[in-house]
Amino acid sequence: MNEISNSGRNVTIEEALADAKRDYTARNPASLARQQAASAAMPGGNTRTVLYYDPFPLGFARGEGARLFDVDGHEYVDLLGEYTAGIAGHSHPAARRAVIAALDGGISLGGHNTLEPKFSALVKARFPAMELLRFTNSGTEANLLAISTAVATSGKRGVMVFKGGYHGAVFTFSGGANINAPFDYVLAGYNDTAGTRALIADNAEKLAAVILEPMLGGGGCIPATPEFLAMLREETAKRGITLIFDEVMTSRLAVHGLGEARGIRPDLMTLGKYVGGGMSFGAFGGKEALMARFDPSREGALPHAGTFNNNVLTMSAGIAALTEIYTEEAAKTLNARGEKLRARLNESAKRSGAAVQWTGIGSMMAFHPVAGEITTPEQSNAGEARIRELLFFDLLRAGFWIARRGMIAMSLPLTDADLDAFAAAFDEFLSVRRPLLG
């Protein structure tokens, strides 16, 4: 791996970042050219906002196992795992075999296929909260359908969401511009048990649903407290409000999903990402009384369309994901490895005296440039955000790919040597940048 940089001499965060970006630009001319070419047809050369960053994003040529290779010939240890979707790594043999087998049988059959019953049975068995379920093409779709189910069955349009929450492209609640779906939102504080209880009581007559991740994913890998989850289950059940757990990301953190591990079963649950074997995938499901409304053999059934909901590539890859790749044993092992890594990183931070830390559960974690307890996004955001960006560029130079916002989602092919090297790179960051870290 490359050393981080010699720019520890910089005395301000502005100087350090400027130096890191100059170095980045000099090292990645082909990525810059790719970005310029892409901008001719796409605004900002981009069709997925989270992947963009200044001065320009890396262009990747290929992936293999837990490695990424960019168009400038650099190799990176992939610690982002496609924002949790890439739990199997790149081109896992079982997923590859499943996709090829599906291709051999024809892609768009225009009818029911033989893979749907097997895959749906596997999903139901893995996630007991899903008494009945339906497939979609993304986590965004799954959450949109889950919320719409609550609205349709209750006749109300109010949806409680939480500050720092993210449930897909049309459900962003972290401030700034958005294109959110037009529901009647009630915005509450994550992990604010007393305040949220009062908000539910005040808005009970209009609330169709409460939706949240049992651990904020994009909001900083901040776990919900047991008291907060228990209160939400109690209040929604008492008032006939549908409780939705968005487990598009967090379902990977325990064998049967994070909600089940916490002893809280929602009325509806959503999935996505890795469950489809790395293909485009989403699912929503839950209590039979709610989901049975989609039975098209029933009079007045709720409609649910989607040409590729049951596409054979995802169905086949998903079967491989749950039976051969992310098995129950694999889930236990990967999350235990993540717990050890996060503890190791936090011990390094503690030894250095720097005001930084990592939060998370199991194989998902996020970096925060702030000391003290973090139970809300507001506490995390009180730190110097540019420290996250500096960590991102320093780790890139050292050969590690994480999210610019500081998120990690571990994948199965990562080795102990990979994690040792990453921990060493973080130690170097703490040493080189110590004057900037508080």
User: How is 289-323 classified by DSSP, letter by letter?
Assistant: HHHGGG-TTSTTPPP---TTTT-HHHHHHHHHIII
* Average confidence (pLDDT) over 261-286: 97
Architecture of the domain defined by 7-78+335-436 = Alpha-Beta Complex (3.90)
Task: Pinpoint the residues of the chain covered by CATH 3.40.640.10.
Answer: 93-325
51-77 pLDDT tens trace = 999 999 999 999 999 999 999 999 999
Write out the residue limits of the CATH 3.90.1150.10 domain(s) in the chain.
7-78+335-436
Query: What pLDDT does 10 receive?
Result: 62
Question: Tokens for 126?
Answer: 């893995």
How confident is the model at residue 4, as a pLDDT? 56
Q: What average pLDDT score do residues 391-420 get?
A: 98
Mean of per-residue pLDDT scores for the chain = 96
| Residues whose CB is less than 8 angstroms from the CB of residue 171 and which lie 6 or more positions away in sequence, other chains included | 140, 143, 144, 161, 165, 180, 181, 211
pLDDT above 60 for 366: yes
**Model confidence band, residue 5 (pLDDT cutoffs 50, 70, 90):** low
Alpha-carbon span 87 to 92, nearest angstrom: 10
Domain 93-325 of CATH type 3.40.640.10: yes
pLDDT tens readout for residues 159-215: 999 999 999 999 999 988 999 999 999 999 999 999 999 999 999 999 999 999 999
pLDDT for residue 378 = 95
